[in-house]
Structure 1
Amino acid sequence: MAWNNSGGPSPWGNPRPGGPWGAPQPPSGGGGPGGRGPDLDDVIRQAQDTVRRWLPRGTGGKGIALIGLVLVALWAASGFYRVDPDEQGVVLRFGAFDRTAPPGLNYHIPWPVESVTTPRVTRINRVDIGFRGPAEGTTGGRVVPTRDALEESMMLTGDENIIDIDFAVFWRIRDVEQFLFNTRNPEQTVKSAAESVMREVIGRTPIQPALTEARAQIEQQVRAGTQAIMDQYGAGIEIAQVQLQKVDPPSQVVDAFRDVQRANADRERLRNEAESYRNDIIPRARGEAERLVQEAEGVKESQVARARGEAQRFISVLSAYEQAQDVTTRRMYIETMEEILRRNPTVVVDSGLQGIVPFLNLSDPVRSPAAAAPQVLRPQPGAAPTFQPGTGAAVSGRTQGVPR
């Protein structure tokens, strides 16, 4: 600006030297009279001097234009960016969300118009609650040990016992727009929400199920509760898994608690043994009782059937007797005699003999079974056998005493 260098009047009609803002102040003053800022003409002149120092001597207007084009080309080329397969590009225009970009090579208007951030949307992130896990890598050749955070792990159960719980929460990004603009510290948000839900679930659960069979149920309830809070916040986070690492009583009372656990285990063992014995003896007794009942039923049915058969037989005999009394009487006599004679020794003699003394068997049937066989006197042919009353023997006309 030539009018400032020559010291003549300014184009705005201000007769004062230095332009309409007054005379320039030395650089050490830090501003013009009355606390005003530095002269604009001085700022522009200093910028021009800086550019001239960087340009080689003899460079004209074309060189400056060429350099400007190169700068513009570099600025435009800075808009290319790459998105990895596990990432998702998010393009911000003047700081506001504009669009998302898929994995691969993409382009955006360079800064300051647009900017890009590439969060990892497939990475599973982990938050430890109640303890601090080992750091990634080593420190001085050894792994950093785990450290307990008692202010996070000590919780009150539903039966007013204290329990020490360490667990880990695994999460990933589900919606990048919500993740970037709705939460300031996603990891701390997940940690606070998970710890709150865990305290709520443990506060409804007795200590014994929490230590044994309810672990999977607690993990599922905490995951669902934490996910509901994340959805309510619009955090764009998906809770993949909640994993219990340690569920123990406090270290100060762990020995006494283990004694109680052993006593409970012994009680359960004895109860199971008693149940097993009962399950073994009761079915056996029931089976024995059922067997006796079935045998009694069988005997009853047998006796009833036998009695009915005898009654039916008697009725049949009576009917036959009524129809033919002589034949029936003779038959009954013969059957009765057969039954009698079958059980008694028999002697057959000739009825024509006089002075026959009844035969007396002197042999002992107990000592000599052969002596108990009946003695038979075979009759002569042509003689009709008769029965001698009082002798217990059948007598024929002519016999020959021959023992059978």
Structure 2
Amino acid sequence: MPWSNQSGGGGWKGGGGPWGPRPGAPGQQPDLEEILRRSQDKLRQAMPGGRIGGPFAVLLAVLLVALVGFFGFTVRVNPDELGIVLRFGEYIRQLPPGLNFRWPYPIEQVELPKVTRINRIEIGMRGSADSRDATSTIRDVPEESLMLTGDENIVDVDFVVFWRIANAPDFLFNIQNPEGTVKAVAESSMREIVGQNDIEPILTEARAKTEAAVQALMQQILDSYGAGVQVTQVQLQKVDPPSQVIDAFRDVQAARADQERLQNEAEAYANRIIPEARGEAERILQAAQGYRDQVIALAKGEADRFLKVYEQYQKAPDVTRKRIFIETMEKVLGDTEKVIIDGKSGPGVIPYLPLPEFSKQRPQEPAVEVQPQ
């Protein structure tokens, strides 16, 4: 398996061979002989005559051995780190946070990857790592952000990937450049998801769906590599058409929005006017049905009345004719003003009888109260 460290790079770790970096390399503990030699030189300079002897030399030697033993056989692992112990370059065990025992270099060496830190990778843009910094300028990287959609349109996608170390040994030894690998996988996954969809959903309502699909595809690819990386979140920062045609795309979006608005207004008008028209039609039908039933009922009633009168006429024609005449005259003269003049009245009788005058009600005169004497 290739040798690597958590910050990337290939070949032997630090360029020092299979046992780690050379003694005295930056970031590593110096050689034991080098420490003793430097300590002796400093003591010779501090002691009068440049010599060390007696109990003081023994005590100093014991102190130096204790210090060298303490720092040589123990290693401190910070709370956000995990110690990965390599014995002669082979992975042996893991060390929890705190002070832990290990054999000194070159027998064992310890890698300290930060397993709880959330790492952030920007793709399609470069800016400040602190998202709260409003004054930072974001530089676009078109070679990473320009992508081709499924309907053969170009879209400019800027996004951020958050990831952490899930398996420290796999992260250190299975991939050569972890950060570069995560970035390449993120870009390729986004291009694949964008290439499977049209530009319209990506620009509008499918942002959350796109983020979830890219995260799932990235995790699947990294797991197949055995990278020991967990993708925690994918955030789309900007999804726009290319700057050269963004105005035309906005005009198209505005036209589609107007189209949807007009369609919604037309549907609302239809939903309002159609029930009203159906109700009016039903009302007319009900009125016609009632008028028909009324006419038929009246006609049947008139026919039945005529038949009844005809039966009575057959039994007594004279009486029936006289009755019909009287009922007809009653209907005709019932609502007219009538005056009776009797030309055969004898002397002393007024031949004129104004019936309408008698039908009028005279106003009642107030009663006069009589006081008793």
Bin of the TM-score, shorter chain as denominator length: 0.5 to 0.7
Residue 132 in structure 1 maps to residue 126 in structure 2: yes
Given candidates 281, 285, 288, the residue that maps to 1:289 is 281
Task: For residue 265 of structure 1, report the CA deviation from its aligned partner.
Answer: 3.7
Q: Report Cα offsets for 1:324-353 as digits up to 9, x if no partner.
A: 989x96996575564355245556688985
Alignment of 1:349-388 (within 5 A): 373=356
Per-residue deviation at 1:169?
0.9
Kindly indicate whether the alpha-carbon contact (under 8 Å) linking 1:76 and 1:110 is maintained by their aligned counterparts in 2: no
> What secondary structure, in the 3-state scheme, does the structure 2 residue paired with 1:243 have?
strand
Q: Give the number of the structure whose alpha-carbon radius of gyration is greater.
A: 1
Once the two structures are superposed, the pairs formed by residues 27-42 of structure 1 within 5 Å of their partners are none
Unaligned segments of structure 1, at least 5 residues = 1-46, 362-370, 377-404
Query: Match of 2:104?
Result: 111
**How many pairs are equivalent?**
306
Code of the aligned partner of 1:287: G
Deviation at 1:180, TM superposition (A): 2.3
Q: TM-score, normalised by structure 2?
A: 0.64
d(CA) in 2 for partners of 1:171 and 1:66? 51
How many angstroms apart in 2 are the aligned matches of 1:300 and 1:88? Answer: 96
Letter in 2 for 1:260: V
For residues 165 and 207 of structure 1, the distance between their equivalents in structure 2, rounded to whole angstroms, comes to 11
The CA deviation at 1:290 is 2.7
TM-score scaled by length of structure 1: 0.60
Question: Partners of 2:232 and 2:138 in 1: how far apart?
Answer: 23
Matched, 1:97 2:115: no
- Residues 157-236 of structure 1: pairs in structure 2 closer than 5 A: 157-236=149-228
2: distance between equivalents of 1:303 and 1:259?
Answer: 65
Contact in 1 for aligned 2:341/2:352 (Cα 8 Å): no
* Cα shift at 1:71: 4.8
Q: SS state of the match for residue 158, structure 1?
A: coil
Q: Judging changes above 3 Å, is the alpha-carbon distance between structure 1 residues 90 and 347 closer, same or farther for their aligned structure 2 residues?
A: same
Q: Quick one: percent identity of the two aligned structures? A: 49
Question: Any idea what the Cα deviations from partners look like across 1:18-74, whole Å, max 9, x if unmatched?
Answer: xxxxxxxxxxxxxxxxxxxxxxxxxxxxx9xx89x86875759x9998776545433
Report how far residue 194 of structure 1 moved.
1.1
- Residues 148-172 of structure 1 show CA distances to partners (whole Å, capped at 9, x for unaligned) of 2111111111111111111111112
* Code of the aligned partner of 1:119: P
Larger mean Cα displacement after TM superposition, 273-282 or 105-114 = 273-282
Alignment pair present for 1:153 and 2:111: no
| Structure 2 contact 77–100 (Cα < 8 Å) conserved | no
Corresponding position of 1:123: 117
How far has the Cα of 1:199 moved from its partner? 0.8
Call closer, same or farther: CA 1:122–1:58 in 2, change over 3 Å.
closer
CA distance in 1 between counterparts of 2:79 and 2:270 reads 65
Partners of 1:321 and 1:74 lie apart in 2 by 145
In structure 2, relative to structure 1, the CA distance for the partners of 1:58 and 1:118 (3 Å cut) is closer
Deviation at 1:244?
Answer: 1.2
Q: What amino acid maps onto 2:90 in structure 1?
A: A
* Distance change >3 Å, CA 317–CA 175, structure 1 → 2: farther
In the aligned structure 1, how far is the partner of 2:322 from the partner of 2:158? Answer: 104
Q: Whole-Å Cα distance in 1 between the matches of residues 278 and 302 of structure 2?
A: 37
Residues 108 and 114 of structure 1 are in contact (CA less than 8 Å); yes or no, is this contact kept in structure 2?
Answer: no
Pair 341,135 (structure 1): closer, same or farther in 2 beyond 3 Å: closer
Distance in 2 (CA, whole Å) between partners of 1:64 and 1:257 is: 84
Contact 2:342/2:352 (CA < 8 Å) preserved in 1? no
Structure 1 distance, partners of 2:52, 2:337, is 169
The residue that corresponds to 1:15 in the other structure is none
Is 1:238 aligned to 2:230, yes or no? yes
Give the stretch that moved more between structures: 328-337 or 110-119: 328-337
Return 5+ residue gaps in structure 2 as ranges.
1-33, 45-49, 360-373
CA gap of 1:151–1:293, structure 2 versus 1, over 3 A, is: same
What is the Cα-based RMSD across aligned positions, in Å?
Answer: 4.5
- Could you tell me which residue of structure 2 aligns to residue 26 of structure 1? none
Query: RCO greater where, 1 or 2, for CA within 8 Å and sep 6 or more?
Result: 2
Farther-moved stretch of structure 1 (151-160 vs 182-191):
182-191
Q: Could you tell me how far 1:218 is from its partner in structure 2?
A: 1.4
Taking the aligned partners of 1:210 and 1:58, their CA distance within structure 2 comes to: 78
* Change over 3 Å in CA distance of 1:191–1:315 after alignment to 2: farther
Check conservation: 1:121, 1:172, Cα contact below 8 A: yes
The amino acid of 1:87's aligned partner reads E
CA contact (8 A) 1:89 1:102 kept: yes
Question: Is contact 2:125–2:139 with CA below 8 Å preserved after alignment?
Answer: yes
- The CA deviation at 1:198 is 0.9
Partner of 1:401: none
- For residues 91 and 116 of structure 1, the distance between their equivalents in structure 2, rounded to whole angstroms, comes to 5
Instruction: Please point out which of 328, 331, 335 is paired with 1:339.
Output: 331
